[in-house]
Structure 1
Amino acid sequence: MPLNLHLLRMFATVVRSGSFSRAAEALHVSQPAISKGVRDFELQLGCRLLDRAPKGVRPTREGQALMRHAEALFATERAAEEEMRSLRSLEQGSLRIGASTTIASYMIADYLGAFHRAHRNVDLHIVSANTREIADLMLGHEIDIALVEGPVSDDELVAAPWRTDVMELIVGPQHRFVTATAPIDAAALADETLIVREPGSGSRAIVLRALQRHGIEPRRTLQIGSTEAIKQAVTAGLGIAIVSAAATHDQIAQQHLKSIAIRGLSIDRQLWQLRIAGRLDAPAAVAFDQLLNAPQPLGAAAAGYSVFERSGSRLA
């Protein structure tokens, strides 16, 4: 028979206070109710828990053994209450953020920094993966915040527009497009090797759909699993790529890459925040959500955070 925790609390209070009357006062019940509760508890367990004497009560051997477990149980209860209270007040806890790789690497540093400065005792865990994987993590309740680059079709998820991202064509410093003095014709892309992300990537889907709408099919494609590796491949002359403009500032400034305008073809993509309909978010997630959707963009970059693809990084 499972232990009756209400009766266990009565018994433990009697042991701690040393009398039925003081236990009744502590629990705000009558002394007869305490006496009956302990007696019923002894009957349920089939043993005597207390030695009763005119000067007070003492636990029996069985009562002492049970009291050790009761103290551990109520200590766990207090710890749970304290943790729930601290989480509600953002005094401690953790926030798990999942983001598509471009967003995680180039777009959320300001938000992470602002949140960390405001709530230094909340640990941040960042997961970087492609759009489909982030959606699956959200569905599995493994992350609290989900930001993705591509559309997601799932009845259990609500997708809300977050930001608009500009995609740009990049080539290496020796590529023939570098000498162009005006935007190139979109048809010229058909003669190139287009470097793309892996299936499941939001940016891959958006780029290929945009090219298809213009009747453009590259001569061949080369698949690489990260934007950083794609930029290195483009620099080395392995092909061209269409990536987020947010990912290329440094390399273009250093002339390792060149951004090329395309006549009649521009690719702007909507970035999305995913939610589970009806889920009650923890206070940390609510606070971070308010930063993400503030009317004015953040200006100060975050210091000292890192992103692990498909694994958590911790900022304490």
Structure 2
Amino acid sequence: MDFRLKVFHTVANRLNFTKAATELYISQPAVSKHIQELEETYKIKLFERNGSKIALTEAGEILLKHTKDIFEIYREIDFALSSFSNNRQGLLRLGASTTISQYIISPVLARFHQKQQDIKVNLMNGNTEQIENALINKEIEIGIVEGQTKNQSIKYIPFLKDELVLVCNSKNPSAAKNEISLEDLKAMKFITRERGSGTLEVIEYALKQINVKISDLQIEMQLGSTESIKSYLLNSDCFAFMSIHAVGNELKNNELIVLDVENLVIERYFFIITLLGKSDPLSELFIQNISSYYNLKL
């Protein structure tokens, strides 16, 4: 039954029998057989099938909720009992928004693995909105995000301070300016992150404080990752507000340059997020590790 629930859980999350079979290392007919046996056990359909597409029925949604709870309990049992043998084991599902996953979290994960080699960490990447949704849906235990949407079911723990700076190609004619005026901003062409990005939300809020709307700017393109924005800047005369953590190498190599903007400083915190009222020893262990790495008192 446990394995059948695992098959169901995988199919329900992927909504694709072929992808579920690949992830579980079993054949597609085996996946179909396990789902069929579950439906026969409960005498109810768990999926609606429409050609090659599938969707959860109401009963399937209920079973998925309980399945997530069951696997969460198993995960906590594995970690709690392994602690008695001084050989901690378990699975930690971590989510990080783009800037953090690319420039902040890797050294922490490396040190964590050195200390806890039998704890497996799965890292999910996405924008802030996607990571928060994954946390709410119990697809991850901890998230680290760039924005704070103040969702009432989420606990936000300030983590690292960051600054968003205006950058452009060092060969851009505007690179010689001492300071960019607000009117200059409105004449520039910008590359921004997509909707749902914590970075974009912080930029919008900061501009609003100086009576500039994001719609006042000339947005040439929205791109889904920090790396793609940097690459675009290196091949154009566009501008972007980016985390200082993300452009360190490019500034050092004089490929990009930071421009001061009149009356504008954009600072923010990265946040560790967990479900409000939900805590488990493995998540706490990781939070302790990340805080000690950066010498923080969380």
Indicate whether the TM-score tops 0.5: yes
Highest CA radius of gyration, 1 or 2?
Answer: 1
Task: Identify the match of residue 133 of structure 1 among 130, 133, 149.
Answer: 130
Q: For 1:284 and 1:85, locate their aligned partners in 2 and report how far apart those are by CA, in whole Å.
A: 12
Q: Is the 8 A contact 2:79 2:88 kept in 1?
A: no
Equivalent positions of 1:259-274 (< 5 A) are 259-274=258-273
Which structure 2 segments of 5+ residues have no match? 1-75
Question: d(CA) in 1 for partners of 2:133 and 2:154?
Answer: 10
Matches within 5 A, 1:162-241: 162-180=159-177, 182-216=178-212, 217-237=216-236, 239-241=238-240
Alpha-carbon separation, structure 1, partners of 2:96 and 2:79:
27
Question: 1:196-226: per-residue Cα shift (whole Å, max 9, x none)?
Answer: 1010000011112212322332133421110
After superposition, residues 84-103 of structure 1 pair within 5 angstroms as 85-86=81-82, 91-103=88-100
Name the CA distance, whole Å, in 2 between partners of 1:206 and 1:188: 20
- The two structures have a TM-score, normalised by structure 1, of 0.64
Cα gap change, 1:135 to 1:83, in 2 (>3 Å): closer
Aligned residues of 2:180 and 2:259 also touching (Cα < 8 A): yes
| Alpha carbons 1:100, 1:149 under 8 Å: kept | yes
CA distance in 2, matches of 1:167, 1:81: 42
Correspondence for 2:106: 109
What are the ranges of 5 or more consecutive residues in structure 1 without an aligned counterpart?
Answer: 1-79, 299-316
Greater RCO (Cα-Cα under 8 Å, separation 6 or more)? 1
Instruction: Give the RMSD, CA atoms, in angstroms.
Output: 2.2
Residue of structure 2 aligned with 1:294, choices 283, 292, 295: 292
Paired position in structure 2 for 1:149:
146
Change beyond 3 A, Cα 1:81–1:152: closer
CA 135–183 in structure 1, closer or farther in 2 if over 3 Å, else same: same
More deviation, 112-121/208-217: 208-217
Alignment pair present for 1:245 and 2:241: no
Residues 198/81 of structure 1: CA separation in 2 closer, same or farther (3 Å cut): closer
Tell me the CA shift for residue 271 of structure 1. Answer: 1.5
Equivalent position SS for 2:292: coil
Deviations 1:21-70 (A, max 9, x none): xxxxxxxxxxxxxxxxxxxxxxxxxxxxxxxxxxxxxxxxxxxxxxxxxx
Q: What do residues 240-267 of structure 1 show as CA deviations (whole Å, max 9, x unaligned)?
A: 0001000001112222211112232110
The number of aligned residues is: 217
Q: Does the CA-based 8 Å contact 2:192-2:219 persist in structure 1? A: no
Aligned residues of 1:171 and 1:178 also touching (Cα < 8 A): yes
CA offsets per residue over residues 134-177 of structure 1, 9 Å max, x none? 00111111112111111123221121211211111110122122
Q: How much has 1:192 moved relative to structure 2?
A: 0.8
The answer to whether 1:120 aligns with 2:117 is yes
Q: Which residue of 1 aligns with 2:282?
A: 284
TM-score, structure 2 normalization: 0.67
Structure 1: which amino acid aligns with 2:236?
A: G
Distance 2:179 2:232 in 1: 23
Asked if 2 retains the 8 angstrom alpha-carbon contact of 1:87 and 1:93, the reply is no
Equivalent residues of 2:108, 2:293 under 8 A apart: no
- Counterpart CA distance in 2 for 1:82 and 1:141 is 18
Matches within 5 A, 1:294-313: 294=292, 296-297=294-295
Q: Which runs of 4+ in 1 moved over 3 A?
A: 80-84, 87-90, 294-298
Of 155, 168, 188, which residue of structure 2 is paired with 1:158?
155
